[in-house]
Structure 1
Amino acid sequence: MSIARFAAALVLALLLAGPAPARAADIGGPFTLTDHHGNAVTEASYPGKYLLVFFGYTYCPDVCPTELLVLGQTLDFLGEDAARIQTLFISVDPERDTPAALAEYMPNFHPALIGLTGTPEQVAKAAKAYRVFFRKSPKAAEGEAYLVDHTSLVYLMDPEGEFVSHFVFGQGGETVARTIAKVLARD
């Protein structure tokens, strides 16, 4: 085979291979936040547990409360396996979502859900680690309520902090639980 044919075959093979997929290792990472009981927590605060991580905020009018209900249903569908999961709700609105505000909000959902907040810098660092977009919407006037645009994915992380899967808004608790149960069965 001539060098020209070899080079052409190599270029064709590389083109057919396509781009490299996003690496799962690029999702997740260290964080230091405060839970809704006022305790400092990190990603290592839940040893041996799979983490379900969702970013949102308490003033969210639709997606966040719906997703938190779904996450509670997911834990119920998992039954005894729910003890192997810790679900974290990380606020992207630390200005309003103080530990006290989260302490009032979180009991509206499953008792195993933990709300987390922090300084704007801590929240931004956690969001960046999970590749989460968030942005405070412009206010119409000073003092008026505002919305926060944000990614609405739920991330499943393994006990070593590695990304396993994600779930999109609108998937029911039973569907999410079935996927998690398959992951747990392999472990």
Structure 2
Amino acid sequence: MNLSRPLLLASNSPRRKELLAGLGFKFEVKVKEVNEDFPEHLKRAEVAEYLASHKADAYQHDLENEVLITADTIVCLGEGILNKPADYKEAFEMLSALSDTAHEVITGVCICSKEQKLVFHDVTTVYFKKLTEEEIDYYIRLYKPFDKAGAYGIQEWIGMIGIERIEGSYFNVVGMPVQKLYGHLKTLGLISS
């Protein structure tokens, strides 16, 4: 698959890099430190979209002919948003809260060029079985999920043993709703076969 313009991915996530490469696109990774605070009045999907759009804003003046993709994934339990855990204790609390319940994973994505900006999101519902304290402890000690919203990666051990089912896109939970992304790139006329 070829794109009609150079593609930039503004993410350090190895999972997002894999997913974008899996679509068959060549791209360059460019990363800047961006503040991830968001206005408190925003609803959950709005938070994911705001963060993706906010990340894109940091590159706006750097873009020439390129198309930039930014994304942000949040984990929502009830009305709360579970961010990246600061330490073992926080990760343990998050996974204990997710145990034996359903939660939503929302990824906001921004496709941006010098001329236009498209922001969208996808939602997946994830159902965890009841996790034992030993399982949670084992996962945190071995996988150290401190860089992951909600303190877990669906593609890792905890996802294999703990997730009973999902409703929606698996890839969205990994960090990029690639099916929607591909569709939007096509609609924007950026894909040439």
Q: Kindly indicate which of the two structures has a greater share of residues assigned to strand.
A: 2
**Which category describes the TM-score, using the shorter chain as reference length?**
under 0.3
Structure possessing the higher relative contact order (Cα contacts under 8 Å, 6 or more residues apart) = 1
Give the TM-score of the pair, scaled to structure 2: 0.26
Give the TM-score of the pair, scaled to structure 1: 0.27
State the structure with more CA Rg: 1
